[in-house]
Structure 1
Amino acid sequence: MSTTLSEQAVADFVRDWSAAEERGDHTALDELLADDFVGVGPRGFIRSREQWLERYRSKTVRNSSFEVSDLRIRILGGTAVVVAAQTQESVNGDADAGGAFRFTLIVTGEDGRLRLAGLHLSPRAAAAPG
C-alpha cells in the first residue's frame, strides 16, 4: 500500500527524523528508516540501515545539536526528494563530527506511512560563483 505524499506531510516527516537524529534515538529511527535504507556520509562512506542505527545504539555518535533548514521538497509520484541545509554539533567516537552540510533525502510512502529510503550528505561549501 502506498501513501499519498504532500509537501506538508514530508516536511513533518523531516522534522520528526531530524529530532530523532538530534536525540540519537535509534528506536524512533528504527520506525522511520525503510528496510532497505542506504546512507551516504560526507566523506563518501556507505551505511546500511543496521549500521546507521548501530551508531546510536552504541553511542558512538552523539549529537548536541542537529538543525535542518532551507527545505526544498519535490513530490515525484509516491516518492519525495528533499534537498536541505543542515548543521550539527556532534562527535563520532572521540572525533568532532560537527559541521554544515547539504543533504538529499529520499522519502517514500511505504506500508501506509512515510519512510526514509536514502540519504546523501555532503559538506556545505560557499555558494558557487554566478
Structure 2
Amino acid sequence: MSEQTVAGFVEEWRRAEEDGDPAALEKLLADDFVGVGPRGFLRSRAQWIARYSSGTVRNASFRLSDARVRTYGPTAVVVAAQTQESVNGDADASGAFRFTLVVVRGAGGQVRLAGVHVSPNAAPAAG
C-alpha cells in the first residue's frame, strides 16, 4: 500500500470524523475495528459510529497534522497530531491529542481503518 493511498484514506476518515458522518464511517471502519479513547476505554465499530448517529459527539473542527506513515505490505501505521473543537454530550471535548491509526487493505482490496488509539497531547499540536 502506498503512502499516497494511506494519506488519501486518512483524509477521507478525518472528514467523516469532522462531519460526524456515520454513513461514511460505516464504509471506512473494518468490521473488527477497535478504538481506544484518551482515557483507555475501548469502543467497538458499532460504538464508535454510534457517537455520531446518536448525536452525542459533535465536532466543529477535527484537524490532523504531523502525520507520519509507515507501510508494511497491506498494512500501514499512521501517527499524527490531532486537534478538535467538539462536545461529547454537554461536556467540552476539545483538545490536542496524538493518534495512532492502523490502516489495512482487505482481501477484496478495500482500504479500511482497523484501529485507532488516542492519547492526550500535553503540548499543543502544530497546525
Note whether the superposition's TM-score is higher than 0.5. yes
Within the candidate set 110, 114, 117, 1:113 is matched to 110
Deviation at 1:77, TM superposition (A): 1.5
Unaligned runs of 5+ residues in structure 2 are none
Equivalent residue pairs, number: 123
Q: What RMSD, in angstroms, separates the aligned Cα atoms of the two structures?
A: 1.0
Superposed counterparts of 1:5-44, under 5 Å: 5-44=1-40
What SS does the corresponding residue of 1:83 show, helix, strand or coil?
A: strand
Q: Which has the higher contact order (CA 8 A, sep 6+)?
A: 1
- Aligned equivalent of 2:80: 84
In 2, distance between residues paired with 1:46 and 1:82?
19
SS in 2 for 1:30: helix
Tell me the percent identity.
69
Give the deviation of 1:112 after TM superposition: 1.1
Q: Does 1:63 align with 2:74?
A: no
Q: Under a length normalisation based on structure 2, what TM-score does the superposition of the two structures give? A: 0.95
Q: SS in structure 1 opposite 2:97?
A: strand
Deviating above 2 A after TM superposition, structure 1's stretches of 4 or more consecutive aligned residues are none
- How far the C-alpha of 1:126 sits from its partner, in A, is 3.3
